[in-house]
Amino acid sequence: MRSRGLAVALASSVCLWSVTSLAETQDAVLEISLTDAATGNLVYARCLVNGALGKDGCTVEGQKPFPVGGGWWYVIPGTLRLDVPTGETTLLIERGLEYEPIRDAFEVNSGETVVRSYELRRWINMAERGWRSGEMHIHYPPEVVHDQILAADLNVGTCLVAWVAEGDERSDSPEIDPIRRIDQDYVYSINDEEIERFPITEYGGPVYLLGLRKQIHLDAPTPSYPTNIEYMRLARDQGGVVALHSACFYDAPVAAALGMVDAVGVACNFFGYDYTMKRVKHYGNADDLQLYGHTPWGTANMIFGKYYRLLNCGFRLPVSAGSAAPVKPNPVGGNRLYVKMDGALSYEKYFEGLKAGRSFATNGPMLFFEADGTGPGEEIQLDEPGAIQARVEAIFNKPLGKLEVVFNGDVIKTVEASEGEDSIREELELPIAGSGWIIARVFWAEDYPIKFAHTSPIYVTVPGHPLDSSEDAAYYARWIQHRIEWNKTDKGFRQEEHRLEVEKQLRKALAVFEGVI
Ligand SMILES: [Zn+2]
């Protein structure tokens, strides 16, 4: 039953795509050509013509439009010829997060061919600064991902060709080399897998298995057995990467305790191109609703807060990012992870950097953070508690709001951007009370949708001053105990010994949290 969920999701999208092509009669032609202002070379991008669905009325031979925000877009592979309706025509061209968008409006007359050339300009060049972008949650099929990552200027793409949504059937699949390189700046994998099973609906959530040489399918008629942890273990065994959607994933603490997690999503698909989802009621634990509130900012605080609890338990977990395009109306790379790397780009080096935590996740701003001369993923060793010097730089092509530095879950510094300012550069003195972790995060000035960047942690070790994990370990221990209780009456087992096996796994994870209380 490979890809059943994905097939359903794409089928519903295809229905909408066909509606677009039934729009008004076109009797004019628009020809667009697009170059990079810095190089003069033709480049890929995406375009929205005449606004949202139902209004555009244009068609492109050989292409289906795809959803971003409220509109249906086309890829411009350097040049594009569209059949368009006559009258006032508006155009929006975008290329990932590092380029300024282009807007234009003009009149198109019946029978006319209008030719338009545009130059795309970067507001920042991250590759020049030694950072490369990628994302973990792309649902386009392999034959489409190539164009999508070029149109998004995303250096590293993934392709979740299988979506294990509930049960799964053991099936064999060929072993392949999953890496496809476009050129020195773009590479992607074509054999990734998403596990999204919901044994307890309100606590459910997904995990991404990336860089797989062979698809993983098990004899799992229900979501209960084998557990998602088994999929993670098999992915790891073949050199794959395990990235959690977020720490809201119901098995996140179990997976973390058993050492199965390479990265935890913060810039996940709850933060979209033009939306922020309210998700606390659906994904939170029992006491999260009171703690965070069922609002967009509640979602942000839950995503960050549950991740911070894992860090407070002593797990060294870097951040990650994903868009869920096109299942969610987000562009590929709208949520992305920048990894610091020197030298040439490769898929393997990018994921080595991801696992080492030399990274920040973003759906808009860029964020650079150093403390005591070290960057995210590194460790500072202090002889005793005291102040350390930090440097932060945040840049956006829109006004910034506040920048915060968080130590062991508490905000210890806040810098407010001056009104209308699109950059923050500060030297900060950070009070460090003991061992733990530090991250920086920065937000767009607008309250909605939430646009932010969030670094992976810098770790701090101070002998004789251990991280206090008691409250957060107790929080996750309570949750795993809840899972153990639920497991006793779970109807999703074929054999009683499987139930016992799952309980044993949960108890092993529980012991880890009880050990750090
Ligand atoms: Zn997904």
Query: Residue 256 belongs to what H/E stretch?
Result: helix 252-257
Residue with tokens 């012991």: 511
> Where does the pLDDT of residue 196 fall: very low under 50, low under 70, confident under 90, or very high at 90 and above?
confident
- pLDDT for 513: 97
pLDDT above 70: percentage of residues in the chain: 92
242: CA distance to ligand 1 center in Å?
Answer: 14
The whole-number average pLDDT for the span 465-490 is 93
- pLDDT for 23: 41
**Residue 446: both structure tokens together:** 């607008």
pLDDT at 2 over 80: no
5: CA distance to ligand 1 center in Å?
Answer: 9
Rounded-to-integer distance, Cα 266 and Cα 300, Å? 8
> Where does the pLDDT of residue 55 fall: very low under 50, low under 70, confident under 90, or very high at 90 and above?
low
The whole-number average pLDDT for the span 318-346 is 97
For residue 203, the 8-state DSSP code is G
2: CA distance to ligand 1 center in Å?
Answer: 14
137: CA distance to ligand 1 center in Å?
Answer: 6
324: CA distance to ligand 1 center in Å?
Answer: 5
Residue 37, SS3 per DSSP:
coil
Residue with tokens 């234009």: 104
136: CA distance to ligand 1 center in Å?
Answer: 10
For residue 281, the 8-state DSSP code is H
94: CA distance to ligand 1 center in Å?
Answer: 23
363-401 exposure pattern, b = at least 16 Cβ within 10 A, e = fewer:
bbbbbbbbbbebbbbbebebeeeeebebebbbbbbeebb
Lowest mean pLDDT among 3-12, 177-186, 336-345: 3-12
180: CA distance to ligand 1 center in Å?
Answer: 21
pLDDT at 93 over 50: yes
470: CA distance to ligand 1 center in Å?
Answer: 33
Q: How far is CA 18 from the centre of its chain?
A: 28
**Residue 476: both structure tokens together:** 């996750």
Q: How far is CA 254 from the centre of its chain?
A: 21
Phi, psi of 3 (to 5 degrees): 65, 20
For the stretch 397-415, pLDDT in tens is 999 999 999 999 999 999 9
309: CA distance to ligand 1 center in Å?
Answer: 24
95: CA distance to ligand 1 center in Å?
Answer: 22
419: CA distance to ligand 1 center in Å?
Answer: 37
Rounded-to-integer distance, Cα 303 and Cα 449, Å? 15
For the stretch 206-224, pLDDT in tens is 999 999 999 999 988 777 8
For the stretch 492-506, pLDDT in tens is 888 999 999 999 999
pLDDT at 20 over 50: no
274: CA distance to ligand 1 center in Å?
Answer: 18
Alpha carbon of 371 to those of 151, 380, 428: distances in Å?
35, 8, 9
261: CA distance to ligand 1 center in Å?
Answer: 18
Neighbours of ion ligand 1 (CB under 5 A): 194, 324
326: CA distance to ligand 1 center in Å?
Answer: 9
207: CA distance to ligand 1 center in Å?
Answer: 9
159: CA distance to ligand 1 center in Å?
Answer: 10
- pLDDT for 397: 98
Is the separation of the CB atoms in 292 and 305 below 8 Å? Answer: yes
The whole-number average pLDDT for the span 124-146 is 97
139: CA distance to ligand 1 center in Å?
Answer: 7
The residues, any chain, with a CB within 8 Å of residue 259's CB and separated by 6 or more, are none
Give me the chain's average pLDDT, please.
91
Lowest mean pLDDT among 1-5, 56-60, 76-80, 312-316: 1-5
Is the separation of the CB atoms in 242 and 259 below 8 Å? Answer: no
391: CA distance to ligand 1 center in Å?
Answer: 36
126: CA distance to ligand 1 center in Å?
Answer: 27
**Residue 329: both structure tokens together:** 């109306």
Instruction: Report angle CA 354, 239, 348 to the nearest 5 degrees.
Output: 45
Lowest mean pLDDT among 45-59, 261-275, 279-293: 45-59
Side-chain-facing half-sphere of 267: CA atoms under 13 Å: 35
Rounded-to-integer distance, Cα 266 and Cα 363, Å? 10
Alpha carbon of 458 to those of 244, 421, 440, 509: distances in Å?
20, 27, 9, 25
Rounded-to-integer distance, Cα 316 and Cα 467, Å? 13
